[in-house]
Chain A
């Protein structure tokens, strides 16, 4: 069991964490969009910090162990086209994912405000905030970039 095997295992496990976080965010987005009840939005909103921790661990692990692997492996260089494409896709996924989070923050904040003031009934403003198209678009772009990252890792175009 050499260092490269460990790097590969940690790279793959980080990929799992990244994909798990993307899935968790999808579950949270679908759950938030399905309801206009403040308590339910607030409950789901408490999952988002967990997703944030997992996505940070996953995305940092993927890039750190991935670049380390590219340096350590014979026949692979960091400046290979498919490696650069992977880094670009990683950057797109990270940035769009990072920007998607704040799009849902006003919705969760509104839900907490309503719960704190004892209003537990449906709220039109909450529903509108939950259905943010920009947040959904950014998360969709992040998801597509992660899937393309997997495609790039397998087919290694240009290698």
Chain B
């Protein structure tokens, strides 16, 4: 009887461990998609800043579009699997490192929406200018080099590194 109970317990533990590994895989795959898409978008935007012709700028900013669902999907998977994992592993959501992570994710969501909206307008302007003679334009250059937009984008990269640090060191856990 004891052996049977012990066997059941081992089997339950094994199945739970598999489950947790699966959730961890989803969580990390989500993070990799999110970070991969975000870095790809940042590199494309940075490349666009070095161009003058609206058609080239429009092409590079259009190339950001396939990265957007990758970033959004990655973030959704990361958050959903992260909550699931925290629940399964018994972490309280009020723990300092988790609270800080939530704050940073909220920051990335807000900043991503604001900066993404600005970039959509810049892309639309570049496409209009490309269709209308394709001459370099001061307004387009000013939008691409907008210090507020650059600071917002940079803050997201800093937030990503900070989240990794929180996940590894778990301060206060």
Contact = CB atoms under 8 A, between A and B. Distances in A.
B47 A19 contact: no
A19 B60 CA distance: 20
For A23, A30, A154, the residue with the greatest tally of chain B CB atoms inside 10 Å of its CB is: A23
Interface residues of A, number: 34
A23 B168 contact: no
Nearest to A8: B168
Nearest to B36: A23
A12 B164 contact: yes
Interface string B55-66: 110011001001
B25 A154 contact: yes
Interface string A5-24: 10011001101110110111
B82 interface: no
Contacts of B24: 154
B166 to A, nearest CB: 10
Interface stretch (B38-46, B110-118, B135-143): B38-46
Closest 8 CB pairs of A and B: A23-B36, A20-B39, A19-B32, A24-B40, A19-B36, A16-B35, A20-B36, A31-B63
